[in-house]
Amino acid sequence: MDRHARVFEKDLREAGLAVELRDRPHVHALRAQRQQEAAARQRLADSRRPLQSKLKRLEEELARVSDELRELDARLADPDFYHAGHADEVAVTLKRRGELAGRVDELEARWIAVTTQLEAIA
């Protein structure tokens, strides 16, 4: 019997409600059931943890790439950007925008896959 059960039993005896918890098999069964449930919750949390970590990293990278994409879109939306006479810079910016758009699509697909795996575990 654990310490808490002994203290509880002592308190009951002192209150004149003598009950021997050791003689109650259902108490042990309930304790075992709670321990099994706690172990099951821990296993579930342990199986979800790597996916949650991966999801967090994907979200952080997606935010970073999306921010850069928004900056490029703002630059490309400015008419003065094209009139500055820097055709090479325009070409590089358009190329980079295409790369980032592809990266966003890839990250979103991975995010959906990881989210689906997490939902399947829950």
**Spatial distance between the Cα atoms of 99 and 106, rounded to a whole number of angstroms:** 11
pLDDT score of 17 = 61
The pTM (predicted TM-score) of the whole model is 0.66
pLDDT for 54-96, tens place per residue?
999 999 999 999 999 999 999 999 988 888 678 899 999 999 9
pLDDT for 28-46, tens place per residue?
788 888 888 898 899 988 8
pLDDT at 1 over 60: no
Burial of 114 (0-12, 13-18, 19+ CB in 10 A): buried
pLDDT score of 3 = 78
